């Protein structure tokens, strides 16, 4: 259970403090040597952040949860925990753009090799794995492509390889998706999205489901002799978080704890709105195609039923004739906001090709096959009739 406030405050307070006072020199020594569990400095631990992490742990049934300053910081930390120079990662190129660039630019320049695979064909993932592969990384429901990975196939094909199945589950939050059940060892989430209370703060989570044998990972094998199942989380918090400093602020942890309380309500409302909009957009003559996995004819419908109980969330994409047409429609919108980010309470629209993927090198652009006529709509919790009215006037002109 999560801890209660000393005064019984219903909302767990924000501990706006950098440091913590100790009664004796021996106590502070004990905190540093891990012989006396205590908060010592908020870069490596803070009660409000701990409260948030514990709540996520309770909801997911995970073994360990460590919060970070952003989703990107969480991904970076997980890689640093598992990989050394000379190791490689099998990556889906069809992911959120900055994630791909983190691997393709930043981590590659530090000696971690990136091997791309087509995760809609799990056999191609297996083909890339060798004795230096430490991680398989993909988004379960990917942004903005809205493909769902066949996790049964992927996990059974890769089970014998001893490689960590690490999934970004940002678009499949724990209220609808049980990552451990489908064979994922480590989940990464941008808590900026569904978890934060409607788009008010940035944060990230690394979730260890407690299902991987860490002795198989060279970067963790010595630690696993002492720490066993806790080795990954121990290194993540005590070394990576502490040495790199990408900690979640207590204020954002507070907001995101509040967000967890309304997660399933907001998610359901966004899902209901998005499904109605997807059906409406499909019938519109200006729309060439709608991608939404809860549409019965979507190629991902069966997996959406199996993994998410058909609750696909608030993200959909639709295709128009050209970039010019997309810009014209965006510029006519009155209620839907032109903004990046997803799963805000307000509906947000963006043209991925000219924004998130603008910096993509041509070889990666070719891999992802992103249409210049694609618009990404993150559907909020407004009245769906108002959203239809806005899209209708914007598409009509
Ligand atoms: N993962 C996914 C699926 C995302 O959509 C994003 C951001 O849009 C991120 C990770 C990065 O998260 P953050 O913006 O919190 O760093």
Pocket residue to mutate for ligand 1, from 192, 205, 348, most atoms within 8 A of Cβ:
192
7-11, 107-111, 236-240: segment of lowest average pLDDT: 7-11
Q: Evaluate if residue 241 carries a pLDDT over 80.
A: yes
pLDDT the model gives residue 163? 97
Q: Which atom of ligand 1 is nearest to the CA of 72?
A: 16
Q: How far is the CA of 234 from the centre of ligand 1 (A)?
A: 24
List residues bridging with 208 in a β-sheet.
Answer: 64, 186
pLDDT the model gives residue 374? 98
Q: Determine the average pLDDT of the residues in 207-224.
A: 97
Q: How far is the CA of 187 from the centre of ligand 1 (A)?
A: 13
- 231-237, Cβ contacts within 8 angstroms, sequence gap of 24 or more: 232/64, 232/81, 232/82, 232/186, 232/208, 233/63, 233/64, 233/66, 233/208, 235/81, 236/64, 236/66, 236/77, 236/78, 236/81, 236/206, 236/208, 237/44, 237/45, 237/66
Among 52, 64, 80, 57, residue whose Cα is nearest residue 248 = 52
- Under DSSP, the state recorded for 298 is S
- Please report which confidence band the pLDDT of residue 3 belongs to, taking 50, 70 and 90 as the band edges: low
What are the pLDDT digits (tens) for 112-134? 999 999 999 999 999 999 999 99
The residues, ordered by sequence, that sit 6+ positions from 12 with a Cβ below 8 Å of its Cβ are 2, 3, 5, 47, 48, 51, 254, 257
Q: Which residues form ligand 1's pocket by a CB distance below 6 Å?
A: 70-72, 96, 99, 139, 143, 168, 170-171, 190, 192, 202, 204, 342
- Please report which confidence band the pLDDT of residue 2 belongs to, taking 50, 70 and 90 as the band edges: low
Phi, psi of 176 (to 5 degrees): -120, -10
Residue ranges of the alpha helices (H) in 129-207?
151-158
- Which has more confidence, 241 or 6? 241
The CA distance from 157 to 298, in Å, is: 24
Supply 124's token pair.
């191609």
Q: Evaluate if residue 337 carries a pLDDT over 80.
A: yes
Q: Evaluate if residue 177 carries a pLDDT over 60.
A: yes
Q: Are strands 186-190 and 374-378 parallel, antiparallel or unpaired?
A: unpaired
Supply 353's token pair.
């090709």
Biggest alpha carbon–alpha carbon distance for the chain: 74
Cα-based distances in Å from 149 to 15, 39, 166, 292, 303:
40, 40, 13, 14, 8
Residue 191 Cα to chain centre, angstroms = 7
Q: Give the rounded percent of residues in the chain with a pLDDT score beyond 70.
A: 99
pLDDT the model gives residue 350? 98
Q: Which atom of ligand 1 is nearest to the CA of 143?
A: 3
Q: Determine the average pLDDT of the residues in 272-280.
A: 98
Q: Evaluate if residue 361 carries a pLDDT over 60.
A: yes
Nearest 5°: the CA angle 337, 71, 253 is: 90
Q: Evaluate if residue 60 carries a pLDDT over 80.
A: yes
Q: Evaluate if residue 1 carries a pLDDT over 60.
A: no
Q: Give the rounded percent of residues in the chain with a pLDDT score beyond 90.
A: 96
Q: How far is the CA of 153 from the centre of ligand 1 (A)?
A: 26
Residue with tokens 């309304």: 262
366: enclosing H helix or E strand: helix 362-368
Helices and strands, number each (H, E), in the chain: 14, 12
The residues, ordered by sequence, that sit 6+ positions from 340 with a Cβ below 8 Å of its Cβ are 348, 350, 355, 356
């Amino acid at each position: 259970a999560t801890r209660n406030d000393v005064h019984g405050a219903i909302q767990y307070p924000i501990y706006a403090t950098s440091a913590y006072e100790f009664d004796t020199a021996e106590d502070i020594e004990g905190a540093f040597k891990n012989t006396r569990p205590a908060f010592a400095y908020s870069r490596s631990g803070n009660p409000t952040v701990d409260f948030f992490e514990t709540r996520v742990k309770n909801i997911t049934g995970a073994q360990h949860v460590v919060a970070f300053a952003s989703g990107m910081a969480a991904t970076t930390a997980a890689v640093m925990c598992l990989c050394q120079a000379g190791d490689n990662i099998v990556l889906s190129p069809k992911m959120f753009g900055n994630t791909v660039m983190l691997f393709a630019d930043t981590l590659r320049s530090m000696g971690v090799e990136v091997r791309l695979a087509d995760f809609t064909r799990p056999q191609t993932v297996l083909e890339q794995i060798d004795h230096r592969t430490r991680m398989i990384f993909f988004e379960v429901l990917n942004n903005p492509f809205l493909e769902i990975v066949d996790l049964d196939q992927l996990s059974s094909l890769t089970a014998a390889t001893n490689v960590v199945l690490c999934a970004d589950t940002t678009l499949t939050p724990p209220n609808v998706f049980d990552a451990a059940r489908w064979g994922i060892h480590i989940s990464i989430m941008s808590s900026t999205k569904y978890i934060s209370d409607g788009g008010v703060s940035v944060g990230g989570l690394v979730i260890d489901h407690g299902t991987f044998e860490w002795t198989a990972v060279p970067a963790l094998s010595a630690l696993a002799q002492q720490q066993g199942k806790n080795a990954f989380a121990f290194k993540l918090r005590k070394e990576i978080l502490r040495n790199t400093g990408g900690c979640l602020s207590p204020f954002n942890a507070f907001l995101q704890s509040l967000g967890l309380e309304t997660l399933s309500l907001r998610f359901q409302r966004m899902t209901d709105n998005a499904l109605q909009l997807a059906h409406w957009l499909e019938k519109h003559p200006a729309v060439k195609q709608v991608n939404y996995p809860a549409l019965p004819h979507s190629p991902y419908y069966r997996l959406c039923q199996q993994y998410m109980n058909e609750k696909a969330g608030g993200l959909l994409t639709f295709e128009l004739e050209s970039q010019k047409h997309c810009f014209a429609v965006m510029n006519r919108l009155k209620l839907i906001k032109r903004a990046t980010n997803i799963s805000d309470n307000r509906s947000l629209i963006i043209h991925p090709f000219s924004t998130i993927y603008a910096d993509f090198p041509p070889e990666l652009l070719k891999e992802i096959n992103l249409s210049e006529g694609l618009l990404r709509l993150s559907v909020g919790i407004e009245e769906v009739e108002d959203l239809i009215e806005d899209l209708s006037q914007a598409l009509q002109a």
